[in-house]
Structure 1
Amino acid sequence: MLNDTFRHKGKRQQLAAIVETKGVKDPRVLEAIKTIPRHLFMDSSFEDHAYQDKAFPIAADQTISQPYTVGFQTELLQIQKGDVVLEIGTGSGYQTAVLCEMGAKVYSIERQRELYKKTKLFLSKIGYRPKHLSFGDGYKGLREYAPYDKIIVTAGAPFVPNPLLAQLKVGGRLVIPVGDEVQVMTLFIRKSKLEFEKKEFGDFRFVPLLEDKN
């Protein structure tokens, strides 16, 4: 039973207010945080942690990202309804749900098979239907559905994978945390076929983006 109570809804309002005080101002991002039952993305025994502004471990050594981080990355993307978005690292599906809630057409890749299967089932169960969820190597992107209006990477990347830059539309935005121990949140805006504008937005900590070594 997917239990979402008035108490949960109240906690989400508080969470959105905290995220806003930290600097996320896009009203549609905040509305998505108020709407999505984040506690359902976590093991029920950890429900009390769901509406605190912090990351939390989930299956396969991954985490559900801190709501502020989700809000920050999403705001940088400047999502418009109907945008075709590639998400690298489906994870718990929370970021996926935020993008769907905002009207994006989401294509998402997850590297961990167990997590991919679990999240795919779960998202449809709570009514979020990305265009395509796939199991595979996020470093390669998803060429068959490119180009994308927006690309978001939800794990720390030691470098910016060239296929992701290549799969971005001219005018498109790629948001990626780049670095080893600590990542710098980085935005690339594609200005032309060969030209990208790069902006940096401070330090974050993410679980590493895994490359398929096979």
Structure 2
Amino acid sequence: MTTGRDLPGTNRFVGQRRALIEKIRERGIDDLDLLRRFDEIPRHLFVPQGVWPRAYDDTPLSIGFAQTASQPSLQAHYLRILAPKPDEKVLELGTGSGFLTALLASMSDRVYSIDRVRELSNRARKVLDDLSIRNVALMVGDGTIGWRKYAPFDVIVVSAASPSVPPALIDQLAEGGRMLIPVGDRESQKLVLVRKDGFIVSQEELEGEVRFVPLLGRFAFQDEG
């Protein structure tokens, strides 16, 4: 994987990128290896050029198609909780901008990422290719049914809100696997950490409220209404 230091605008945003890392540290995330990944992967390349000046703000950004790129400190929180390992396989629901996809790819063996918006998937594919990130497979479709062909997954990352945990995702979680998913209504959710140990599946509701775009599909919200 290349860090993209010779790609457009990379040197221009060095100061902003370092400032973002400090903001993530201020939120209690001090894992140096994780912070290094936020420094090496250029977030601005994953968002529309019109919002490049805000690419390293610790805030969600609009990426079109009624979708957002999640707040970086929240993504760091996800990664700290799930802690993907170099030999693990990851399923991501909601490719979106592809920035979290790239972070996951830098930490794990293989990432399988699904998005329902073809244009976003294509855009993410181009940036991942430009950065020589080769261990990612993308699919356009209903993420709530998972990607059974490549199951089971050690880690499942859901970047959209669901009214409940989709049963297909629990089925595709590996022994000892973990999943993080925002669960609630369309306005407010709690992060739920799902673990599978043998025949026992546990669900732990984490502290704090979050707000994500809705997860649409067979086992989540059914439409945009």
CA distance in 1, matches of 2:54, 2:175: 40
Aligned residue for 2:195? 189
CA distance in 2, matches of 1:158, 1:197: 14
Aligned residue for 1:170? 175
Counterpart of 2:27, as a letter, is K
SS of the residue 1:23 aligns to: coil
Distance apart, 1:190 and its partner CA: 0.9
Q: How does 1:10-159 map to 2 (within 5 A)?
A: 10-159=15-164
Counterpart of 1:190, as a letter, is K
Tell me the C-alpha RMSD between the 2 structures.
1.8
Counterpart of 1:168, as a letter, is L
CA distance in 2, matches of 1:129, 1:205: 31
1:124-172 deviations in whole A, cap 9, x for unaligned?
1222223311111010011110111100001111111001111111111
Distance apart, 1:114 and its partner CA: 1.7
The answer on whether the counterparts of 2:125 and 2:138 sit within 8 Å (CA) in structure 1 is yes
Distance apart, 1:117 and its partner CA: 1.9
Number of aligned residue pairs: give it: 214
SS of the residue 1:187 aligns to: strand
Distance apart, 1:200 and its partner CA: 1.8
Structure 2: where are the runs of 5+ without partners?
A: 1-5
CA distance in 2, matches of 1:104, 1:66: 24
Distance apart, 1:196 and its partner CA: 2.3
Counterpart of 1:15, as a letter, is L
Distance apart, 1:4 and its partner CA: 3.9
Distance apart, 1:173 and its partner CA: 0.7
The answer on whether the counterparts of 2:10 and 2:42 sit within 8 Å (CA) in structure 1 is no
User: Does the C-alpha gap of structure 1 residues 111 and 26 become closer, same or farther in structure 2, counting only changes over 3 Å?
Assistant: same
Aligned residue for 1:161? 166
CA distance in 1, matches of 2:143, 2:22: 32
CA distance in 1, matches of 2:50, 2:159: 25
TM-score normalised according to structure 2 size: 0.89
Aligned residue for 1:209? 215
The answer on whether the counterparts of 1:186 and 1:201 sit within 8 Å (CA) in structure 2 is no
SS of the residue 2:215 aligns to: coil
Moved more, 132-141 or 112-121: 112-121
CA distance in 2, matches of 1:191, 1:199: 17
